[in-house]
Amino acid sequence: MRVRRLLLVGLLLAPLTTAPRVRASVNQAPAAGALGDSTFWQLINDLSEAGGAFPQQLMSNEDSAQAVIPSLKKTVPTGGVYVGVGSEQNFTYIAAVHPRLAFVVDIRRENLLEMLMYKALFELSRDRPAFLARLFSRPLQADLDAKTNVTTLFKRFETALPSAALVEANTRDVIEMLVRGHNIPLAPADQSLIASMMERFRAAGPGALKGYGDLNPAFADLMTATDFAGAQQSFLATEEAYQTVRALHQQNLILPLVGDFAGDKALRGIGDYLRARQAAVQVFYVSNVERYLFEQGTHGLRFYANVEALPRDSGSVFIRSVTRDISVRLGITLPDTPTKWWTFTAPIAADLDGLAAGRIQTYADLFRH
């Protein structure tokens, strides 16, 4: 244990950022501004690294994602930088914290392509009904508009019949938007993968598309879920939330990267890019990735060294998620909630301090210190 502790201290030599907490907005850095198409794609290529083997998951299965939204809205300043992993759950967090720039970093190249697919769908869809019609290749119903309640939206789209002609047209529009609209050189194999994703959304529909396993919530369940106070907080819950994410996509400010959290390129490259622009990561959504990193020995140490290299402020936070079955196995006590997952925030600075001091040496220690 002593050798492990000394190694970790050596990895975390850089001092923590101690800038004062800014509650309302981050004013110390200039706004990112829209990125040109060539810059957008160049950054994705420059910051991405080799992909890894991990099963593709078209959507989140974390039913507690919205539990942290009220806290995020109260404590995280707008105008910072967001980093996250995975698929559409990132849009819910982005809608809540209003970053100036966002990176979605995932070891699966398929996830990058899904994020590009979403980018095109957001840009092509003026409002939430249009977005859902394209995403699930259902007819757009004339009486649905930007004011329609999200629960009503999904009830209507769950009963609408899918269309093979629509999925063909929508897939063509998505690829046209990316290749011709943004000059992204998608290889034929990449285009085929996007087409297969569009077909999977069409075939399943919003009421049946799920993450791993039949017991997980469907897409419609997650989008119409609430926080523990009963408020709907997904990126499709309100038109304002949807338009927040759409505007960032229109400005090329949500960048999907292929990256390993324990790698030597993606997170380090993000840090260098942000430091040069005096910008700070306010939110880092890690989901349950840390569990896998700890299970791979020194990968966990490499990840936290990469986090140490990211510019932050004293209030920057992780968003973590853990399943109740894993918590029982590891002896972690979680709050009593009706959800299968528990999602919570943790100050990044406190975790790095705990790691350096040896108080955190296992995944379970992240929940106890």
pLDDT tens for each residue of 97-129 = 999 999 999 999 999 999 999 999 999 999 999
CA contacts within 13 A on the Cβ side of 78: 6
Contact status, residue 292 vs residue 286, Cβ threshold 8 Å = no
Tell whether the torsion through CA atoms of 190, 254, 86 and 147 is positive or negative.
negative
Which secondary structure element, helix H or strand E, spans residue 281, and what is its range?
strand 281-287
pLDDT of amino acid 225: 95
Q: Which of 85-94, 238-247, 272-281, 358-367 has the lowest mean pLDDT?
A: 358-367
| Residue range 43-48: mean pLDDT, rounded | 98
Contact status, residue 53 vs residue 192, Cβ threshold 8 Å = no
pLDDT of amino acid 334: 87
Q: Which of 20-29, 231-240, 254-263 has the lowest mean pLDDT?
A: 20-29
Q: Which of 20-29, 134-143, 162-171, 319-328 has the lowest mean pLDDT?
A: 20-29
Between CA 231 and CA 110 the distance in angstroms is: 32
Count how many domains the chain has.
1
pLDDT of amino acid 213: 60
Residues contacting residue 210 through CB under 8 Å, at least 6 positions apart: 59, 61, 204, 216, 217, 218, 219
- In the predicted structure, residue 68 carries a pLDDT above the cut 50: yes
Between CA 77 and CA 24 the distance in angstroms is: 5
Q: What is the mean pLDDT of the chain?
A: 89
pLDDT of amino acid 73: 95
Look-up: residue for tokens 């394209």?
Answer: 134
pLDDT of amino acid 212: 65
CA contacts within 13 A on the Cβ side of 258: 17
pLDDT of amino acid 32: 55
Structural domain boundaries, residue 310: 2-367
